[in-house]
């Protein structure tokens, strides 16, 4: 990738992280913020938006670090296993392990006596379904061999990037970090070939 295209790729991913965090932040706390819009308190709205945008830039940088780390890991995996088939099996095992962790270990650590497993199962299912959708489009854009690596990236790497919010386990922070990271990860995964092939 040429340096000019890399800069464009980096900045566009930053923008996605910032904008998505701004929108999601207002949606998640609409009950608190709606009076600001009703009373047309522009300064207050802009200050909150600026803060959310800045947080989104941080999420975007985390996402980009994870993406380039995964590109390296993927090459190492292919080199170690010396077979796409065996490397794909290893990735599927890791995907299942991470999904299990998202349900079982989070439930063990954070659930109280009245909570059921369903909310923990729901978030893991959501991460998996988003991964399936993005992997499907990646496979459609490239080839069928891209499905498992794309799913691995969208499930395993996203979960690793999401770890700071997972530790806090506060619902708004979980979603505020997860959704922008998913959007940045999906964008990078689907758009990288267009940037590498562009002149």
| Domain extent listing, the chain | 3-197
Can you say how many angstroms the Cα of residue 73 is from the centroid of all Cα atoms in its chain? 17
pLDDT level of residue 195 (50, 70, 90 thresholds): confident
Give the contacts of 53 (CB within 8 A, at least 6 positions apart).
18, 19, 21, 22
- pTM score: 0.91
Helix, strand, or coil (residue 183): helix
Give the sign of the dihedral formed by CA 62, CA 64, CA 66, CA 72: negative
Report, as an integer, the average pLDDT of 144-157: 94
pLDDT digits (tens, 9 = 90+) for 160-176: 999 988 888 888 889 99
For 170, phi then psi, to 5°, come to -100, 125
């Amino acid at each position: 990738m040429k340096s000019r295209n890399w800069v464009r790729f980096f900045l566009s991913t930053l923008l996605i992280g910032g904008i998505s965090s701004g929108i999601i932040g207002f949606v998640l706390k609409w009950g608190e913020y709606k009076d600001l819009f009703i009373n047309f308190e522009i300064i207050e709205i802009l200050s909150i938006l600026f803060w959310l945008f800045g947080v989104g830039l941080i999420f975007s940088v985390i996402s980009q670090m994870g993406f380039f780390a995964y590109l390296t890991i993927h090459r190492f995996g292919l080199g170690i296993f010396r077979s796409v088939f065996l490397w794909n099996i290893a990735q599927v095992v890791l995907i299942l392990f991470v999904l299990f962790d998202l349900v079982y270990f989070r439930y063990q650590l954070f659930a109280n006596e009245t909570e059921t497993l369903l909310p923990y199962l729901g978030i893991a299912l959501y991460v998996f379904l988003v991964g399936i959708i993005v992997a499907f489009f990646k496979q459609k854009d490239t080839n069928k061999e891209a499905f498992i690596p794309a799913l691995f990236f969208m499930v395993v790497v996203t979960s690793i990037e999401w770890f700071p919010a997972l530790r806090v386990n506060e619902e708004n922070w979980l979603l505020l970090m997860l959704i922008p990271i998913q959007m940045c990860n999906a964008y990078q995964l689907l758009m990288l070939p267009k940037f590498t092939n562009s002149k």
